[in-house]
Amino acid sequence: LVMAAYNAGPGVVRNAIARANGETNFWKLYEYLPEAAQNYVPAFIAATYVLQNASAHNIFAIRPMISFDQINTIDITEPVSFQEISAVTEVSCDIIRFLNPS
């Protein structure tokens, strides 16, 4: 119910409980909740299941090419080529191109 309240608001969940004669089981409140909450809670349950049982379903995390502790920001005020940046930073042009937000 916490996830339903997070999604729809605590007042909406309280109203659903009242309409369901005091039931506090999500599945018994389901029909009294807005569609967004009806979809949100099962999606959250599914995501949690997948995360907890990923290897059993042959799902494995992909290691990132670069971790955040390996990068930094360079503010550039005038045009500079990737080749020039690569020469100064010793980072390949392909990686600079991948990390460049523009």
Q: How would DSSP label each residue in the chain?
A: -HHHHHHH-HHHHHHHHHHTTT---HHHHGGGS-HHHHHHHHHHHHHHHHHHSTGGGT--PPPPSS-GGG------SS---HHHHHHHHT--HHHHHHH---
Tell me the mean pLDDT in the region 77-89: 92
User: Per residue in 41-62, pLDDT tens?
Assistant: 999 999 999 999 999 999 988 8
Domain range list for the chain: 2-57, 68-99
pLDDT classification of 68: cutoffs 50, 70, 90: confident
pLDDT at residue 65 greater than cutoff 80: no
Tell me the mean pLDDT in the region 9-22: 98
Would the pTM of this model clear 0.95, i.e. be above it? Answer: no
